[in-house]
Amino acid sequence: MISVLKGMKDRYSDDVKKYDLIVDTAKSVFEKYGFERIITPILEETELFRRGVGDETDVVSKEMYEFVDKGNRNVTMRPEGTAGVVRAYLEAGFHKSSPIVKWFYHGPMYRYEAPQKGRFREFHQMGIEMFGVRSAYLDAEIIRMGCEFLEKLGITGLVVEINSLGNIESRKKYIDDLKAFMEKRLDKLSDDSKRRYTTNPLRALDSKDKGDQEQFINAPKLYDYLDEESKNYFENTKRYLELMNINYVVNDKLVRGLDYYSDTVFEIKSNKLGSQATVLAGGRYDRLLEILGNAKVPGIGFAAGMERIAMLMDENLIAKKENKIYVIYFDETKEYFVKIVEELRKNGIKVNFDYNPKSFGAQMKKANRENADYVLILGEDEQKENVITMKKFSTGEQEKYSFEQVLKHFERKSLEK
Ligand code: ATP
Ligand code: MG
Q: What is the pLDDT of residues 283-292, one digit of tens each?
A: 999 999 999 9
Strand pairing class (325-329; 158-164): unpaired
Return the ∠ at Cα 271 (arms to 236 and 56), rounded to 5°: 70
Query: Which residues in 258-271 are b (16+ Cβ under 10 Å) and which e?
Result: bbbbbbbbbbbbbe
| Residue 125, marked binder | yes
Atom of ligand 1 minimally distant from the CA of 111? 27
| Residue 329, marked binder | no
Tell how far the Cα of 386 is from the centroid of ligand 1, in angstroms: 59
Cα 347 vs. chain centroid, distance in angstroms? Answer: 35
336-362 pLDDT per residue, tens: 999 999 999 999 999 999 999 999 999
Higher per-residue pLDDT: 316 or 90: 90
Q: Average pLDDT, stretch 366-392?
A: 95
- Residue 308 Cβ contacting ligand 1 at under 6 Å: yes
| Residue 223, marked binder | no
What average pLDDT is seen over the chain? 93
Q: Which H or E run includes 30?
A: helix 14-32
| Residue 129, marked binder | yes
- Residue 303 Cβ contacting ligand 1 at under 6 Å: yes
Q: What one-character DSSP code corresponds to residue 98?
A: -
Q: Which of 94-108, 195-209, 277-291, 374-388 has the lowest mean pLDDT?
A: 195-209
- Residue 113 Cβ contacting ligand 1 at under 6 Å: yes
- Residue 265 Cβ contacting ligand 1 at under 6 Å: no
Q: Average pLDDT, stretch 362-382?
A: 95
Q: Given ligand 1 and candidates 112, 116, 161, 278, which is best to mutate, with the most ligand atoms within 8 Å of its CB?
A: 278
Q: Which of 170-179, 234-243, 257-266 has the lowest mean pLDDT?
A: 257-266
Q: Tell me, what's the pLDDT at 417?
A: 41
Cα 29 vs. chain centroid, distance in angstroms? Answer: 13
Give the integer Cα–Cα distance in Å for 41 and 85: 10
Q: Tell me, what's the pLDDT at 321?
A: 66
Residue 407 confidence (pLDDT) above 80: yes
Tell how far the Cα of 66 is from the centroid of ligand 2, in angstroms: 17
- Residue 86 Cβ contacting ligand 1 at under 6 Å: no
Q: What one-character DSSP code corresponds to residue 116?
A: B
| Residue 225, marked binder | no
Nearest to 287 by CA among 322, 266, 241, 256: 256
Cα 327 vs. chain centroid, distance in angstroms? Answer: 38
Residue whose Cα lies nearest atom 10 of ligand 1: it is 80
Tell how far the Cα of 193 is from the centroid of ligand 2, in angstroms: 15
Q: Average pLDDT, stretch 233-244?
A: 98
Atom of ligand 1 minimally distant from the CA of 279? 20
Tell how far the Cα of 4 is from the centroid of ligand 1, in angstroms: 21
Q: Which H or E run includes 21?
A: helix 14-32
**pLDDT category, 76, cuts 50, 70, 90?**
very high
Domains of the chain: 14-167+227-317 (3.30.930.10), 321-412 (3.40.50.800)
Helix residue spans in 347-377 (DSSP H): 360-369
CA atoms within 13 A on the CB side of 282: 28
- Residue 164 Cβ contacting ligand 1 at under 6 Å: no
Q: Which long-range contacts (CB under 8 A, 24 or more apart) does 236-242 make?
A: 236/136, 236/137, 237/136, 237/139, 237/140, 237/162, 237/164, 237/263, 237/264, 238/140, 238/162, 239/136, 240/136, 240/137, 240/139, 240/140, 240/141, 241/140, 241/143, 241/144, 241/160, 241/162
Count CB atoms within 10 A of the CB of residue 232.
12
- Residue 192 Cβ contacting ligand 1 at under 6 Å: no
Q: Average pLDDT, stretch 284-303?
A: 95
- Residue 111 Cβ contacting ligand 1 at under 6 Å: yes
**pLDDT category, 410, cuts 50, 70, 90?**
confident
Calculate what percentage of the chain has a pLDDT beyond 90: 82
Tell how far the Cα of 339 is from the centroid of ligand 2, in angstroms: 56
Q: Tell me, what's the pLDDT at 57?
A: 86
Please give the C-alpha separations between residue 113 and each of 117, 148, 199, 277, in angstroms, as whole numbers. 12, 30, 19, 17
Q: Provide the residue type at 152 as one letter.
A: K
Give the integer Cα–Cα distance in Å for 289 and 208: 30
